[in-house]
């Protein structure tokens, strides 16, 4: 989707500390900073889960959400489920 001259590490743009945006794939990198312009109407929401002591009776599952370095919408929490496993997280 992005041109051959685009470093894939640059497809996420952090224009501010609250949100991470998808970079525009139809423009060339900006001359002033070498990065792609951001689509401010397309945010990146990263979600991940983990399970401590997976497969045991003491297993605990947790999940996290990240949208920007200083965003108040970032969150992490322990899941309250009875059959905890890494697939649940």
Residue 2, domain member (yes or no): no
According to the model, what pLDDT value does residue 3 have? 67
Residue in the block written with tokens 């905890």: 84
> Residue 88 domain-assigned?
no
Would you list the DSSP string of 15-69?
SSSS--EEEPSSSPPPTTTSPPPEEEEEE--EEEEEEETTTSTT-EEEEEEESST
Token pair listed for 32: 């002033």
Same domain, 53 and 75: yes
Is 72 inside any structural domain? Answer: yes
pTM (whole model) above 0.75: no
pLDDT tens digits for range 30-86: 888 777 888 889 999 999 999 888 888 888 899 999 999 999 999 999 988 777 776
56 and 74 inside one domain? yes
Q: Residue 89: pLDDT band by 50, 70, 90 thresholds? A: low
Burial group, residue 23, by CB count within 10 angstroms (0-12, 13-18, 19+): buried
Residue 10 near residue 24 (C-beta atoms within 8 A): no
């Amino acid at each position: 989707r992005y041109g051959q001259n685009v470093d894939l590490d640059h497809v996420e743009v952090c224009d501010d500390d609250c949100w991470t945006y998808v970079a525009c794939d139809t423009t060339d990198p900006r001359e002033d900073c070498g990065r792609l312009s951001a689509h401010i109407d397309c945010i990146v929401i990263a979600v991940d889960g983990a399970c401590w002591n997976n497969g045991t009776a003491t297993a605990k599952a947790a999940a996290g959400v990240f949208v920007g370095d200083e965003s108040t919408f970032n969150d992490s929490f322990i899941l309250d489920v009875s059959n905890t496993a890494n697939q649940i997280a």
